[in-house]
Amino acid sequence: MEIQTILDHVTKTDSYKRYGKVERVVGLLIEARGPEARIGEVCYIHTKLQNQKITAEVIGFYEEKVLLMPYSAVSNIGSGCLVEATKKSLSIKVGRSLIGKVIDSTGELLDGSKLPKGLKEYPTEQQPPNPLERPRINSVIPVGVKAIDTLLTVGRGQRIGIFAGSGVGKSTLMGMIARNSEADLNVIALIGERGREVKEFVEKDLGPEGLKKSIVVVATSDQSALMRIKGAYTATAISEYFRDLGYQVNLMMDSVTRVAMAQREIGLAIGEPPTTKGYTPSVFALLPSLLERTGTSNKGSITAFYTVLVDGDDFNEPIADTTRGILDGHFILDRKLAEKGQFPAINVLQSVSRVMPGIVDSSIMSVIQKARTILATYQENEELIQIGAYKKGTNPNIDNDIQLQPKILGFLRQGMNENVDRQAALDALQGLLNGSLR
């Protein structure tokens, strides 16, 4: 039986290598006459230098020409260079021995050393799971951040967007979640980051303790648009691999906005028409196909945190609006709170966790609703209070809220290296609302 199986494989094996030739290079786009290939297939471009091959990917076709984009910079490629088809999509090597490592978009170690042995090859592009095969989210995952664990509780397998402008504390919040969360593993994708920020995040925000249970995927801003997109796909594939092993995984991607920008670059390069604010239609097709891959399964779960960089603090710009509609909740980081020294600068009134009512007990929900009501009432009357137009005694409820609002904000304030138990935080909040804390 085994011999027959081997013979069948030999019979079906295509031993021919297929080649084409480069005809034109425009920017980062390479046009070739042949080879026979499909969208997403990896090809090798043999340059004029001896033994040098540049890896590229098929991204489209135009008038019988194959359109390719390289993973690295376009160099030493000229007219007539051979293009070799591999008949394979991009795959990476993944396994438990990868935990604690920092890799690039193709799965290679960023420090240039060799990958550990015993890793398994795994394709980076997967289909989202069948909706009917997704278990419902029915349990809480504590993340060690008071504002989230109390007023914005996250469920195991939930997908959350962290929306903020630049410099409001996204990376710091991600580092806190990575270190303090009760997940088995963190997969962190740094997409389009400055080169300086990578080491800073790994050593400062994540730290040695966080790195011990993390895999970091890096695609810096100087790399090609294709590498930035592949960084997002690689991180998601690694999360799926460990989810299928039964792990409870945290996937943190910073940022999905830069993934969308990279796809816009590719779309414009192959001639897609720009639509909303210059974004091409393929951007709005990529986002749901990528974000829907995370979540629950019958074996494990991926709890995903995607940061969204909002230009000019406009939370209704196209990528922010589209992402918010796909995900299961969003946290808004408010620049005004950051300017007042409130960290993490989460605006809990503008933020929402859509699965929280289904995973939190009714007694706890009543405490949470009471705290949110106090903050909302104070915000509605803030201008009157600040200019002195409101007189004490006019409304007993507002009088009470004026006293409790600064205490709640003080409760939500948390140091970068502070880890808070969820139950202790809930007890402290309830005690504060009952007046036991003065």
Q: Does domain 92-359 have CATH number 1.10.340.70?
A: no
**CB of 218 within 8 A of CB of 110?**
yes
pLDDT at 212 over 80: yes
Residue 347, SS3?
Answer: coil
Residue 438 pLDDT: 40
Q: Report the CATH architecture of 18-89.
A: Beta Barrel (2.40)
Residue 129 pLDDT: 87
**CB of 23 within 8 A of CB of 85?**
no
Q: For the whole model, what pTM was predicted?
A: 0.91
Kindly list the domain boundaries of the chain, sorted by start residue.
18-89, 92-359, 363-435
Give the N- to C-terminal CA distance of the chain in Å, as an integer: 78
Task: Give percent of the chain above pLDDT 90.
Answer: 64
In this prediction, residue 58 has a pLDDT band, given cuts at 50, 70 and 90, of very high
Render pLDDT for 162-205 as a digit per residue (tens, 0 to 9).
999 888 888 889 999 999 999 999 999 999 988 888 999 999 88
Strand partners, 220: 193
| Distances in whole angstroms, Cα of residue 253 to Cα of each of 211, 392, 409 | 15, 47, 28
Q: Report DSSP state, residue 205.
A: I
Residue 436 pLDDT: 44
Q: Report the CATH architecture of 363-435.
A: Up-down Bundle (1.20)
